[in-house]
Structure 1
Amino acid sequence: MSYLPAPGYMPTYNPPLPYSQPIPGGLRPGMSIYVQGTVPHHTKRFVVNLACASHDGCDVALHFNPRFDGKDKVVLNTFQGGRWGKEEHQSMPLKKGEHFEVVFIVSGDRYQIRVNGNHFCDYMHRIPPERVMEVKADGDLQLQSMTLLGGGGMMGGGGYPQMGMPGMGPAAGGYPPSNLPMMTAPASYHPQVPYSGSFPGGLGSKRTVVVRGFLPQHAKQFRINFKAGPNETVLHINPRLNERAVVRNSYLGGRWGPEEREVQFNPFQAGQYFDLSIRCGNQQFKVFANGQPFFNYKHRFHNFQQIDRLEIDGDVVLSYVQF
């Protein structure tokens, strides 16, 4: 597998619990782990562990343990050498029956933990993050997705999972080698909407844009636009929840072209997270949603170097944008 000048992008969707995902080469500063799911109404506690091995009793660099036991709190700790360290307690940011997103961002001396787009707490390293070989989740949790995002380094053969890795086959939403994303720009975490980002040097063939977000309960529609100059919209992706449609089109030469609406499934639901991977191929855009092929859009504008901007607006809360 060739090395790509891009962060790793390893998503897994709706895995059964207990779940573990390998981290080839360990964690390094700049990497992050996204955990998205729902807290069931009956929940008592669940756990996300950044573990140093796969066997029971191994060292755990970070134990993230929300507890709903009357004194609702989040317990953080480290398990090392067969014993637990000193617990750190934080107030509970999660609510039963609601969706949530927790992001663990690795920095040089700590984990920065964000919950639902807001800074939650920092946890100082007690074990070097390079020793972390798996992320594990278990307990009273409906796990929607877990994503490992690399920090620009190489992760076991170019930043991407080897085929056959647990949890990364097609059924789990893993990308096959021919669909590995190529991304070069730094990630944008929880950017504001409306969002605008530029493609230095144009979009280019085989470049991939990843958009992750959440649709509020009141959401009606939002728009993702690939722009060429001030007036041309090369690709317009317009999920319309009020019509249960995902409209695609281009605005070229001062007019809209024919709409495309047909999809095999619709990942855009109010109160749900979504993950889009939009790859610019030589003949068409190939779009994946939540790890599954979503639609192809044949190019109506072929000068990729002039595609210089990504714009997102409407009823959406963005978690993560990268290209």
Structure 2
Amino acid sequence: MSSKLYAKNFEFAPGQLLKIKGVVEPEAKSFVFNIGRSDNEFSLHFNPRFDEHGDTNTIVCNSRVGGVWGEEQRDHAFPFKHGEDVKVFIYYKPDFFEVKVSDDFLVKFPNRCDDQKLAFLGVDGGFKVVSFKVQ
């Protein structure tokens, strides 16, 4: 099963926090949070992979500018479990993003695009969004 959420005209700027609450689907192979200028330009592509694209229990982060993917950043610390309720906190700093899962896991990813305001949030794959909020 694949869940999808797309928010356009979404406003997310440095100094703000995005909270996403949801459930990892029981049979999820992966899921993705894309945050960027549009549905084709991502400052942050956050992609936990249980078993997909040759990766097992790996978080892949990347950016996409002008339709071209950047260099992937991989993290093998993997806090996700199938069927689990999850809270993801994405802190938007001027030069980087911090992604915190529940209370203990943290990934840092550079703001390669130097964007000062993002307008798109996309969630796809095996993650069912219960709520999201920018503050």
TM-score band by shorter chain is 0.7 to 0.9
Task: For structure 2, list consecutive stretches of 5 or more residues without a partner in the other structure.
Answer: none
State whether structure 2 residue 118 is matched by structure 1 residue 136: no
- Residue 35 of structure 1 is matched in structure 2 by 20
State whether structure 2 residue 43 is matched by structure 1 residue 61: yes
Q: Any idea what the Cα deviations from partners look like across 1:56-76, whole Å, max 9, x if unmatched? A: xx2111000111116211110
User: Matches of residues 192-203 of structure 1 in structure 2 within 5 Å?
Assistant: none
Shift, 1:133, TM fit: 0.8
Q: TM-score normalised to the size of structure 2?
A: 0.87
User: Matches of residues 1-323 of structure 1 in structure 2 within 5 Å?
Assistant: 17-24=3-10, 26-54=11-39, 58-69=40-51, 71-91=56-76, 92-149=78-135
Aligned-pair Cα RMSD in Å = 1.8
SS in 1 for 2:14: coil
- Whether the aligned pair in 2 keeps the contact of 1:112 and 1:119 (CA below 8 Å) is no
Q: Tell me, in whole angstroms, the C-alpha distance in 2 between the residues paired with 1:139 and 1:43.
A: 7
SS in 2 for 1:43: coil
Q: TM-score normalised to the size of structure 1?
A: 0.38
Structure possessing the higher radius of gyration over alpha carbons:
1
Higher relative contact order, chain-length normalized (CA < 8 Å, sep 6+) = 2
- Whether the aligned pair in 2 keeps the contact of 1:47 and 1:65 (CA below 8 Å) is yes
- Whether the aligned pair in 2 keeps the contact of 1:46 and 1:65 (CA below 8 Å) is yes
SS in 1 for 2:116: helix
- Whether the aligned pair in 2 keeps the contact of 1:39 and 1:97 (CA below 8 Å) is yes
Task: For structure 1, list consecutive stretches of 5 or more residues without a partner in the other structure.
Answer: 1-15, 150-323
Q: What letter corresponds to residue 127 of structure 1 in structure 2?
A: C
- Whether the aligned pair in 2 keeps the contact of 1:18 and 1:138 (CA below 8 Å) is yes
Q: Tell me, in whole angstroms, the C-alpha distance in 2 between the residues paired with 1:108 and 1:142.
A: 29
Shift, 1:122, TM fit: 0.9
In structure 2, the CA distance between the partners of 1:103 and 1:121, relative to structure 1 (3 Å rule), is same
